[in-house]
Structure formats: structure tokens, C-alpha cells
Structure 1
Amino acid sequence: MNFTLGAAVHSERVIKKSRFIGCVQPVADRAAALLVVDALRAEHPGAAHVCWALMAGGQSAANDDGEPGGTAGRPMLEVLRHQHLDGVLATVVRYFGGVKLGAGGLVRAYTDAIAQALLGATTIAQVRQRALACSVPYALEGAVRRELAAVGAALGDVRHETDVHVAFTVPEPAAAGLIESIGNAAQGRVVWQQA
């Protein structure tokens, strides 16, 4: 099972006069991650490096931002992978202190910055969601809404036309039971649609 984070968490370390500011945070995709990295570059114009790693399904990536190859982004990515995280961006802003750390020292510094941030993080289990849509007569809208609330489904678009069209997402494990519950509550007057 994969996990994501509830909120951004930061850490800060000074190693041989270099300052490492680490952060782990939930992100939706690579585009959102790149916006965060760009914002960090703008926020820390004096930083020598803004290294990052992203675990986001097929969009995973790592960037050393000028550090020797494989000493920053890839080790940070391995920390995320080891923790079974997905939809998570790890960033480390480094202010160079004048003392070179060597390849091993850099790997330790970047992994430690992310590991320290993760110590304070709240992880949330990722549950696959299923998108569903149906239409029911107006008189049954309240019953459908109650069934959705009972299983924690997220209500989406609701259109009031000839019937009430309701779109929603529900955790995959609860989908079959919800379809049955809505069918029973609607007494067979529900029409399932392509979500």
C-alpha cells in the first residue's frame, strides 16, 4: 500500500557550514512539483542548489541541480520509495558553506534532510477512488445524498434537469456496496451513467 502526506513538513540542518533546508509535501503531479521548485528558487535566490525528487506514479523524477550526479536527487527519491510514498515531492535547498562534503557526504546530507522532515510527517493511506454518475427522480435526490454521505463519497457535479444527475467519487472498496445501496434506496429508479 502506498501513502501520501497530510501536509508539508520542513527540516533544517547545518553540516560543515552548509545549510540544508529540507521539505516533503504532497503534490498532485509533476507540473505542480515544478511550480513548487520554481517558487523555492525565487524564495532562495542566494542558494547554491535546489535539489528535488518526486514520487508520483509514472511521473517520478529526480534532479541534482548542479550537485555531482547521483548525490542529491536520486538518494532523496530512494528515501521516498523506501517509505512507500506516492504523490510526494522532496526538496532540499542548499546554501554552500565553503567546505566540500564529497560524494558520500552529499548523499548523507540530502538523505538526512529528507529523513528528518519525514519524522514529523503525517502519512495517509492512499485509497483508489472510483468515479460514478447516476440520475434519479427529484424525489430521490435526498436518499442518494444520504447514501453518499454514509460511505464518505465525494460529491461532484449535480445537475437538475428532467431528473437529477449526480456525479461522485467513492473509495474503490465501497463502490459495489454503494451501487447496491443507491439501487435499493431508489427502488430501481436509478440510471447509471458513464462517469
Structure 2
Amino acid sequence: MKEDILKNAQILWDYHNLDFALEEADFILAMGSHDERVAIHAAQLVLDGYAPLLITSGGFGKVTKKIWNTSEGKHFANIAEKMGVPREKILVEEEATNTGDNVTKSKAILASHGINVEKGILVTKPYMCRRAYATAAKQWPEIEWLVSAPELSFGDYPNSEVPLDRMINLMVGDLQRIKIYAEKGFQIPQEIPTTVWRSYEALKKAGYDTFVIEN
């Protein structure tokens, strides 16, 4: 892959990947995706005592609808259970099709169980941290949010299941959504430095526009 593509992709990666100091919370929300490492990381946080409850949220997204027969929520719950998280500590949400749904439908599930919460930990892919936080802060502002992701570098993240080309396409799409979804009121605004937007434009021009949406 060309050096300029990798350089611009690294810039987007660094922007997307927020670093929160973790604290104990009331629940962990594993945001469904194609990356099983998110489920593994969320389950490990529960096992490490960061929260007594795990919500695995997700129906079928733009990637998983093509590769899995089981919903993201159920798939992630199965992974957590195999790792040793007791089934009674897991709530499964299987209808969410986007980041906002992950938050609002998980909120509804907690309410239906009569569970009151004040602090949650979002667990997602490294390059989804900023958009996940911006969405949760807008869609459920009454509680405090922290964010965590598998500790992987830009170079170490891609693998056979999450190839580099797909990752770059997804990062480009998420960068666009950080801008336009704030304008639509779906997320709280996030400042996008000029250098980051230039990298987005360069990658889109280079053909990494699979998940770019028409305004």
C-alpha cells in the first residue's frame, strides 16, 4: 500500500481513538460490530471487575449482515459466556443497526429490567471510540460515559477478518459521520482539525469511499 495512504489512515486512526482512564461503572456496553476482539475486551473488563453487568448490543450491520448468521448481540454474548462471564450478568440486545440504536435500545433494556445506572463504559473498535462517545453523550446524556477499546496499534489492528482496506474505508465513513451526524443532532459536536479533514478528503479521493454516505 502506498505510503501516503498509510500516513493519512494513521492520522484518522489517531483522531478516532480516544484514551479514557477507566473506572468502575454500573455496566459495560459492548457495541456490536464485525470485530470479535471488541467482545473479548468487553468480557475481560467484566471479569476484571470494572462492572457487574454486560450488555451486548447489535443486530446486523453493514458488514456483519454479509458474514454472520447470528446477530452481533448474540454472537458477542456467546463469546463473553465462553470466556467465563456468567449468563445472568449479560443482557442481549439484537435489534440495533447503528451506533445510536446501540445506546438507546440498551437504555430501554435496562429500563425494562428496572436497573438504574449512573455510569457506563462503551467498548468498541479503536477507530470508533470518538463517534461512540459523541453518540452516547447526545443520546443518553443523563449518565457519565467512559470509552474503552482493544489496545492495538494502527499497524497491529488489521488481520484476516478485519483487512486493512476495509478498516480504512470504515474510518473514512466514520469521520464523515462525526461531522454530518453532529449537524443532524445525532451526536455532540467534535472538533475536526484541518489536517484530519485533509486526510479524509485524500483517502476518499483515492477510492476509500465504500461507507461514505450522500449528503
Structure 1 length-normalised TM: 0.32
Point out the structure with max Rg over C-alpha.
1
Where is the strand percentage greater, Structure 1 or Structure 2? 1
